[in-house]
């Protein structure tokens, strides 16, 4: 039988991007990080994230009319740690913008989507949240934050890409 440590190590061998799912709840920003974001369908436009059933944040977000889903950039490692923390102000020092339906989008991300809950599927100790995409924007030259082997990593860019990315940031 496989131990949970072995399984975590095997799952961690697959690099993934990191997304933030956020909205205003009673006027205050509420959000969480998810390293299991993936595209699902073009028609209808669907994405998914996996959320631990023990999450105390998801119950606050799931029924909001719109959620902001931000694909975090390589400069968001500290923001991601905050959004994933169980204690403290998750939004301290994190720059964000509010959408028209109280969604929250993290500034400097590589992609932003306004989504709503389409469906949920129970899967072991997690919930797979299927999210319908209502609007989006991208910064295609902004490198994403990558989570691999329990660490944040950066994608190596070519010199041309690095120069273009730096010019866009300033």
CATH number, residue 31: 2.30.110.10
Structure tokens belonging to residue 147? 């989570």
- Domain containing residue 115: 16-140+154-169
**Selected residue with higher pLDDT from 141 and 111:** 111
CA distance 54 to 78: 23
Identify the pLDDT of residue 20. Answer: 96
The predicted-structure confidence for 46-55, as pLDDT tens digits, reads as follows: 999 999 999 9
Nearest to residue 146, comparing CAs of 22, 49, 21, 16? 16
**What's the average model confidence in pLDDT over 117-140?**
96
Nearest to residue 109, comparing CAs of 138, 148, 68? 138
Q: How many CA atoms lie within 13 A of 23 on its CB side?
A: 23
Kindly state whether residue 10 falls inside one of the protein's structural domains. Answer: no
Identify the pLDDT of residue 169. Answer: 63
Q: How many domains does the chain have?
A: 1
pTM: 0.86
Could you identify the residue written with the tokens 């997304």?
Answer: 19
Specify which of 9-23, 46-60, 79-93, 145-159 reaches the highest per-range mean pLDDT: 46-60
């Amino acid at each position: 039988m496989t131990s949970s440590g072995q399984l975590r190590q095997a799952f961690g061998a697959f690099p993934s991007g990191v997304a933030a799912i956020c909205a205003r709840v009673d006027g205050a920003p509420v959000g969480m990080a998810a390293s299991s974001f993936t595209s699902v369908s073009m028609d209808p436009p669907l994405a998914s994230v996996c959320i631990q059933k023990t999450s105390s944040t998801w119950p606050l977000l799931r029924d909001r009319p719109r959620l902001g889903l931000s694909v975090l950039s390589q400069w968001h490692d500290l923001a991601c740690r905050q959004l994933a923390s169980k204690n403290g102000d998750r939004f301290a020092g994190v720059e964000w913008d509010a959408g028209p339906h109280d969604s929250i989008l993290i500034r400097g991300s590589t992609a932003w989507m306004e989504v709503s809950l389409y469906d949920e599927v129970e899967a072991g100790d997690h919930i797979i949240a299927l999210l319908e995409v209502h609007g989006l924007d991208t910064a295609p030259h902004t490198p994403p934050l990558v989570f691999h082997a329990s660490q944040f990593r950066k994608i190596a860019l070519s010199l041309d890409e690095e120069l273009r990315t730096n010019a866009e940031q300033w």
